[in-house]
A and B are shown apart, each in its own frame.
Chain A
Amino acid sequence: MKLMDVLGKGFTLIGQVDSARTVDMGAILNAVKSMGNVSAVIVSEPRGMLGVANTVVVSGLVKKETGKEVICQLTCRDRNRAALLSDVLAAKMLGIDSFLVTDGGHPKISDTPQAMAVFDLDSAQLVQMLRHLSEKGETLAGHSIVGKLNIYVGTMAFPVASPIEVEVKRLERMVGLGLNFMVTYPTFNIEALNRFQSETKRLGVPVIVGVRMLQDVRDARRLNEDPRVTVPPELIDSLEKAEKLRGEEKANARLEANISFFEGFIESIKGKGFAGCSIYAPGIEQAVSQLASRLQA
């Protein structure tokens, strides 16, 4: 089912997988397959890592091998407007027509700080370019495209941004350009999500809530270093308890810590007007499918 049809139908679960600095597509496919029956998968770029396998190609392969609906992340960091266009056309040939557009992190705060930061277009201009392609079949410069593109464009939203009003206004600007959906930057802050929902409801664009599962207690602490993220102490506690176990028991306890926490989390945001939830569980993708069946039960 196409993404926009999915987003109109109650609360949906989608998965997220990062591309990687790898030539092993198998690992990425296994990650996606172990997510189970999610309605779509976001193929994203890992934060702070420059030079991973092209998300367009990875998206195409995920779609081909798993048959899932794919949302391909596109950032403005490494590609000028021409390279972005050629990626979008190639993506379309691979059956990808949903894009998650972001500005992209600056190389300076990545693992390759010497690289040139491109930002020929910014995320608003890229949304504009994609809408233009989809509606008029033309590039921003007015060159026509052979064939039809039906493109859906989403962007990342930051419910914990401060000041939040400027973030809401930025999103409103994007909506004016024809934005189709938003995915929130992972947060554990339900209050911020609800506030965000009430402030963006009037924009009339589906909001998918981003959540981030934690591999282990170290992963939780690392994530806590981001000033915008506070991992709830009860989740850290249960991950810490898992550390005392061994082997399979430990792995299961870590999964269970995530699943039981996010079951509660998702139950409490369901019915609040969100279109669904995007679950990013790097390295523990099987937790996504277990959580999904728990939520269904």
Chain B
Amino acid sequence: MIITVAKSDEEVKRALEPYRNIVVVGCGTCATICRTGGEDQVKEMVEKLMGWGKNVLASMVVESPCDVRIDRRDLRRIEDEVKRADAILVMSCGVGVQAVGEASGKKVLAALDTIFLGEVEHIGRFLERCRECGMCVLNETEGLCPIVLCAKGLMNGPCEDMINGKCGVVGDEADCVWVKVWERMKSEGREEDFLRVNPPLDRSVKVGAAKVVW
């Protein structure tokens, strides 16, 4: 799940300043779960925009705005409004914003901040779990991501800031992930696995916008 939070009203207002005729697009997938871009939030946004003197031509929740094909399909239903719009305010992650821009050829604005790839424990409690390093090491680290869960992103911890099994960098009682890795190995009698040295990450994997084509 891509976790988003709403930008402040002031920031959205400032971004919309030069534009009057607006279309609002929400997201039926992640941003609906995050309650940042679902039906209710889109409705609230429309009211807010009208309060700011904007002319809202149309609003809709696109099933998954990150998919350009779905954007094209869904936006067809409000084709005229999109054509007349000065800007589309997109209530989705940054991927959705850019895909809507591509599908519509229009000026797009982001209503949300995209903060991480996370797990949903329950609505209102989202936990970061992956930073898309491109060479997943979960198979070596007992299914725990050291890049996110270790404050230093160490591939071979723990470090000098571990205090009683907790991470002294993050504080807030966060566990040191390397102690967790150790505990999992130990509980299965695989203590020797902890001696394995994980190699440095290949940073070239993350240069420029990545592409997967097949």
Q: Which residues of A contact B (CB under 8 A)?
A: 81, 102-103, 105-106, 108-109, 117, 119-125, 128, 140, 156, 158, 161-163, 165-167, 169-170, 172-173, 176-177, 185, 227-228
12 pairs, CB–CB < 8 Å, chain A vs chain B = A81-B200, A109-B161, A109-B168, A120-B200, A122-B152, A124-B155, A156-B160, A166-B162, A166-B178, A166-B179, A170-B178, A228-B163
Tell me if B169 is interfacial: C-beta within 8 Å of chain A: yes
Category for how many chain B residues contact A: 20 to 34
**B161 and A122 form a contact (CB under 8 A):** no
Q: Per a CB cutoff under 8 Å, which of A128, A167, A176 touches B195?
A: A176
Binding site for A on B (CB under 8 A): 151-165, 168-169, 178-179, 182, 186, 191, 194-197, 199-201, 203
* Complex contacts, A162 vs chain B, CB 8 Å: 163-165
CB atoms of A161 and B182 under 8 A apart: no
A169 / chain B contacts, CB cutoff of 8 Å: 182, 191, 194-195
A residues near B191, Cβ cutoff 8 Å: 169
Closest B residue to A170 by CB, please name it.
B158
Chain B residues contacting A161 (CB-CB under 8 Å) are: 158, 162
Chain A residue numbers with a CB within 8 Å of B186 are: 165
Q: Provided the pairs A109-B161, A185-B160, A227-B164 are in contact, do residues A125 and B151 lie with their beta carbons within 8 angstroms?
A: no
Is the pair A123, B197 in contact by a Cβ cutoff of 8 Å? no
Does B158 contact A166, Cβ atoms closer than 8 Å?
yes
Q: Is the CB of A120 within 8 A of B203?
A: yes
In the complex, how many angstroms separate the beta carbon of B139 from the nearest chain A beta carbon? 18
A167 to B152, CA, bound (A): 17
In Å, the complex CA distance between A266 and B157 comes to 31
Q: Are A103 and B168 in contact (CB under 8 A)?
A: no
Q: Which residue in chain A gives the minimum CB-CB distance to B146?
A: A122
Q: B197: which A residues are within 8 A, CB to CB? A: 124-125, 128, 173, 176-177
Q: Given the complex, which residues of A lie within 8 Å of B178, measured CB to CB? A: 166, 170
Q: Is the CB of B155 within 8 A of A166?
A: no
Known contacts A122-B157, A162-B164, A173-B195, A108 near B169 by CB under 8 Å: yes
From residue B72, how far is it (CB to closest CB) to chain A in Å? 39
Shortest C-beta distance, B59 to chain A (Å), equals 39
Return the contact of B158 from the options A125, A167, A172 (Cβ within 8 A): A167
A163 touches B157 (CB 8 A): no
Known A106-B169, A123-B156, A125-B156; 7 more pairs at CB < 8 Å? A106-B161, A109-B168, A122-B159, A124-B155, A165-B186, A176-B197, A227-B163
Contact of A119 with B169 at beta-carbon distance under 8 Å, contacts A166-B178, A169-B182 already known: no
Which of B162, B182, B200 is packed against the most chain A CB atoms within 10 Å? B200
Question: Which A residues lie within 8 Å of B182 (CB)?
Answer: 163, 165-166, 169
Given A109, A119, A163, A228, which contacts B165 in the complex, CB threshold below 8 Å?
A163
- Tell me the bound Cα distance from A167 to B151 in angstroms: 18
A119 touches B154 (CB 8 A): yes
